[in-house]
Structure 1
Amino acid sequence: MENTLINITNCIAEIRRWLSANYLKLNDSKSEFFITGSNYNLKLVDTKNTALVIGGSSIKLSPVIRNLGCFLDVNLSLTAHVNNLRKTILFHIKNLWHIRRFIDKETCHHAVRALVISRLDYCNAAFTLLSARDKDRLQRLQNNAARLVFAVGRRVEAKPLLHKLHLLSVEQRILFKVLLYVYKAFNNLAPKYIAEQFTVCVPFRSAMDTNRLVIPMSELVTVGDRSSKVVAANAWKSLPRQLRTAGSTEIFKGNLKTFLF
């Protein structure tokens, strides 16, 4: 662990020198770091005495860090992100309820899409790792938003309301985002680091479907089978060939939403 921290410190020092040479500055005091791993391995780390020196600041271990708006905990379970997301969305839903009687349904629908649905969709390709409990918590937020649009109570079933609004469920929205990345990877529209996550299946007969992915083998069923690339390969396999070979991204998105809906 000590050697690892030294290597990270030296790497950050190089970054600071490069930034300085380009008239930029690294904000040492706002930097965060954490150590992720299994519960067993994390118990071997002395969390109280472990620190990372960045410039003139000594940064202590953080239980949760924020990176590009996504909150990551030491187990990478994204529960911390769901907690923060829930707090933010409930705040907006509560405020919208205060003015609901002064706005019409269409205006409320636009507000919900901007303040609620957009947040549920942010970085949701990583939500394949969420536990069933956390996915259910997000689904309840979407259900509450649908009831807000129709100005009905919490006892009204949300599924018909979502159907009327043409909104995919949280689980379906996760699959939609993941499959969209796969389509873009197949058609050279995705960044290289995303395309490298998927392996195209090479057919051993010319008559076989070439638009398929190799399903990766995972050692851990509870985590490995929920990784984005495993979920993506299995979900892509279930799509009709006509959908997988759509002529454009817009056609694929429209047909995919119809298929999932």
Structure 2
Amino acid sequence: MTVNKLKLNMDKTEFLIIGSSHHLKNLPPLQLQVDNTTVEPVDNVRNLGIYFDQTMSMDKQVAELCRRLNYQIHNIARIRRYLDSETCHHIIRSLVTSRMDYGNSLLTGITETHLHKLQRIQNKAARIIYGLRRREHITPYLHTLHWLPVRQRINFKLLVLIYQSIHHEAPVYLYNDICLHSSTVTNTRILRSAMDTTRLHIPKTSKTIGDQAFYVAGPRTWNTLPISIREAPTTNTFKSLLKSYLYPY
């Protein structure tokens, strides 16, 4: 930064230590010294609107996401009587479901409690569209909206990223993180001459947090898909087949 005549903004500088709860408890106090300024560690950091915590549990992200979505739903509910169902649906898609889907592949492996919280918000959004009471059964209306449940929405995004990575439609760093099954692996990268093979290699991990990584969770979920979906010729075709496959209603 000195060579390029840049100055670090210490007011916006922070660092995060990531590890298991056990290892974090045993760490001594840590600080960074930059330009005679002490930088203290923080419990979570925000990057591109996503919160990352020390154990990568995504607790902070889910809490903040629920807070923001509930705020939007509350505001929409206040003006619902002035809207028809179609207009309300468009507003919900714009302000609620789009935010719920943003970066949701990072929520792979979150707890059932977190999934339940997000699913309740999705159900609440559907109730507002149709003007339903809290106790009315929501499943038929989710079916009418053709909304994937939260768990399936997360898997949908993850699997689309895997498909795009295999077909070189995603950033190179994602492509380099996956490899075909061992029979077609060379230097842990996909052989271009073996693109007809659709099964992916699943690396072994010894930690739960490792199972949430893209290069582990993605191939594991991908390999459960029928071959007919994995061999879809285009991204749009893949998305269409995948949504029908994941649709539970």
> Normalising TM by the smaller chain, what interval?
0.7 to 0.9
Q: 1:37, CA displacement in angstroms?
A: 1.1
What's the counterpart of residue 105 of structure 1? 85
Q: 1:202, CA displacement in angstroms?
A: 4.8
Q: Given that residues 34 and 63 in structure 1 are in contact (C-alpha distance below 8 angstroms), is that contact kept between their aligned partners in structure 2?
A: yes
What's the counterpart of residue 241 of structure 2? 255
Change (3 A) 1:252 1:152: same
What's the counterpart of residue 12 of structure 1? none
What's the counterpart of residue 17 of structure 1? 2
Alignment map for 1:45-56 (pairs within 5 Å): 45-47=27-29, 50-55=30-35
What's the counterpart of residue 83 of structure 1? 63
Distance in 2, matches of 1:182 and 1:161, equals: 30
CA-to-partner distance for each residue in 1:21-49, whole Å, 9 max, x for gaps? xxx554221122121111222122344xx
Distance in 2, matches of 1:71 and 1:236, equals: 26
What's the counterpart of residue 51 of structure 2? 71
| Structure 2 residue corresponding to 1:177, chosen from 123, 137, 157 | 157
CA-to-partner distance for each residue in 1:182-202, whole Å, 9 max, x for gaps? 111111111111112211115
| Structure 1 residue corresponding to 2:217, chosen from 212, 216, 231 | 231
What's the counterpart of residue 9 of structure 2? 27
> In the comparison of the two structures, how many residue pairs are matched?
236
Distance in 1, matches of 2:111 and 2:34, equals: 35
Change (3 A) 1:56 1:129: farther
Distance in 1, matches of 2:100 and 2:130, equals: 19
Distance in 2, matches of 1:129 and 1:55, equals: 39
Q: 1:203, CA displacement in angstroms?
A: 4.3
Q: Given that residues 28 and 56 in structure 1 are in contact (C-alpha distance below 8 angstroms), is that contact kept between their aligned partners in structure 2?
A: no
Q: Given that residues 107 and 154 in structure 2 are in contact (C-alpha distance below 8 angstroms), is that contact kept between their aligned partners in structure 1?
A: yes
AA of the residue aligned to 1:75: T
Query: Structure 2: which 5+ runs fail to align?
Result: 185-195
What's the counterpart of residue 188 of structure 2? none
Tell me, what secondary structure is at the counterpart of 1:17? coil
AA of the residue aligned to 2:231: T
Q: 1:170, CA displacement in angstroms?
A: 0.7
What's the counterpart of residue 201 of structure 1? 181
What's the counterpart of residue 3 of structure 1? none
What's the counterpart of residue 20 of structure 2? 38
What's the counterpart of residue 118 of structure 1? 98
Q: Given that residues 29 and 57 in structure 1 are in contact (C-alpha distance below 8 angstroms), is that contact kept between their aligned partners in structure 2?
A: no
Tell me, what secondary structure is at the counterpart of 2:223? helix
TM-score for both structures, normalised by structure 2: 0.87
RMSD: 1.9
Q: Given that residues 129 and 228 in structure 1 are in contact (C-alpha distance below 8 angstroms), is that contact kept between their aligned partners in structure 2?
A: no
AA of the residue aligned to 2:152: Q
Distance in 1, matches of 2:53 and 2:132, equals: 36
Tell me, what secondary structure is at the counterpart of 1:189? coil
Tell me, what secondary structure is at the counterpart of 1:223? helix
Change (3 A) 1:110 1:245: same
What's the counterpart of residue 210 of structure 1? 197
Q: Percent identical across equivalent pairs?
A: 38
AA of the residue aligned to 1:256: L
Q: Given that residues 19 and 25 in structure 1 are in contact (C-alpha distance below 8 angstroms), is that contact kept between their aligned partners in structure 2?
A: no
Change (3 A) 1:113 1:19: farther
Check if 1:129 corresponds to 2:116.
no
Q: Given that residues 18 and 54 in structure 2 are in contact (C-alpha distance below 8 angstroms), is that contact kept between their aligned partners in structure 1?
A: yes
Q: 1:104, CA displacement in angstroms?
A: 0.8
TM-score for both structures, normalised by structure 1: 0.84
